[in-house]
Structure 1
Amino acid sequence: MADDGQSARPDPVGQPERVRRMPRAERRQQIIDSATRAFGRGGFAATGLDEVAAEAGVTHVILYRHFASKSDLYRAVLERACARLEDAVGTDGFDETSLPALLRAAAADPDGFKLLFLHAAREPEFRDVIDTIRSGSTQVARRHLADSIPDGAWRDWAARVVPAFTLEAVVAWLDLGQPDPDQAAERISSSIHGIIRAAHGG
Structure 2
Amino acid sequence: MRRKLVLASNNAGKMRELQALISMLGFEIVPQGALGIPEVEETGASFVENALIKAYHAARHSGLPAIADDSGLEVNALGGAPGVYSARYAGPSASDDENIDKLLAALDGIEPGRRGARFRCVMALVRDADDADPIIAEGCWEGRIGQTRRGGGGFGYDPVFIVPETGLSAAELSPADKNRLSHRGQAASILADRLRDLLSN
TM norm structure 1: 0.28
TM norm structure 2: 0.28
Larger radius of gyration: 1
Greater relative contact order: 1 or 2 (C-alpha under 8 angstroms, separation 6 or more)? Answer: 2
Structure with more helix by fraction: 1
